[in-house]
Each structure stands twice: as C-alpha cells, then as structure tokens.
C-alpha cells in the first residue's frame, strides 16, 4: 500500500465513523423524549470534557454522540499525519518523519492549551 493510499484510508475511515456518530446522535436526540423536551425548554447544553462525553455515550445521549463525532472528525487529520510518520520511518525517510512528528507535537500542544482554556 502506498503512502497516499494509507493516508486516504485513514481519512476515509475517520470521516465515515464521525459521520455515523453525528448522524446517530441527531437521530437519538430528535427521537428521544428527553431530546424533544430540551427543544421546547431552554435547549440544554452539550457535554464538555472527555468524562462527560463518555458518561453521555454510556447513557445513550444523542448530544454526547454528536460531540464524540465532532471530536473524531477533528482528530482524523492528526491520525493521518501519524500514519504518514510511521510509513516514513519504515521507509527510512527520517526528515519527513521528523517534520510529521513536529506537526503532531504542535497540534497536541494546541489541543492541550484548548483543553486548559489558555
């Protein structure tokens, strides 16, 4: 499998999985009595943080499924870069592997800063 096919496969899988989660969350939210009640009241809030999303998924929350789908959609390009880094290392292209690792480090730092609210 070529590098381009590998990256394309990772992106495709991430996109499909995130779309399935988002669509399932919308369907759950629109068909559940709790979801219909939220639409008529204040609107509620989406879960924030990993623990709240996991707790919501365990309870079958549509909003948590949408949130998880969005997080997966954002993480998909990062996973594609990680796959490329692994492929470059196996090919012995250390320069590109280093550049890819630096990109992942910057993205990781950005995510960490976003989580702590900096």
List per-residue pLDDT tens for the chain, 118 residues long: 788 999 999 999 999 999 999 999 999 988 887 666 565 545 566 677 778 888 888 888 888 899 899 989 988 999 999 999 999 999 999 999 999 999 999 988 887 787 776 5
Residues 81, 77: Cα–Cα separation, whole Å: 6
Q: Which domain holds residue 104?
A: 3-116
CA nearest neighbour of 91 among 19, 30, 25, 1: 1
* pLDDT for the residue numbered 41: 47
Torsions phi, psi of 43, nearest 5? 100, -20
Total domains in the chain come to: 1
- Tell me what pLDDT residue 42 has: 53
- Assigned token pair, 71: 């997080």
């Amino acid at each position: 499998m070529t590098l381009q096919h590998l990256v394309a496969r990772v992106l495709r899988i991430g996109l499909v999985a995130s779309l399935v989660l988002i669509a399932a969350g919308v369907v759950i939210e629109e068909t559940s009595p709790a979801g219909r009640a939220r639409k008529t009241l204040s609107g509620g809030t989406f879960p924030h943080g990993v623990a709240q999303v996991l707790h919501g998924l365990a309870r079958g929350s549509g909003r948590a499924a949408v949130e998880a789908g969005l997080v997966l959609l954002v993480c998909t390009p990062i996973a594609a870069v990680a796959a490329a880094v692994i492929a470059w290392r196996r090919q012995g292209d250390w320069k590109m592997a280093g550049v890819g690792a630096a990109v992942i480090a910057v993205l990781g730092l950005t995510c960490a800063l976003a989580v702590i609210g900096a």
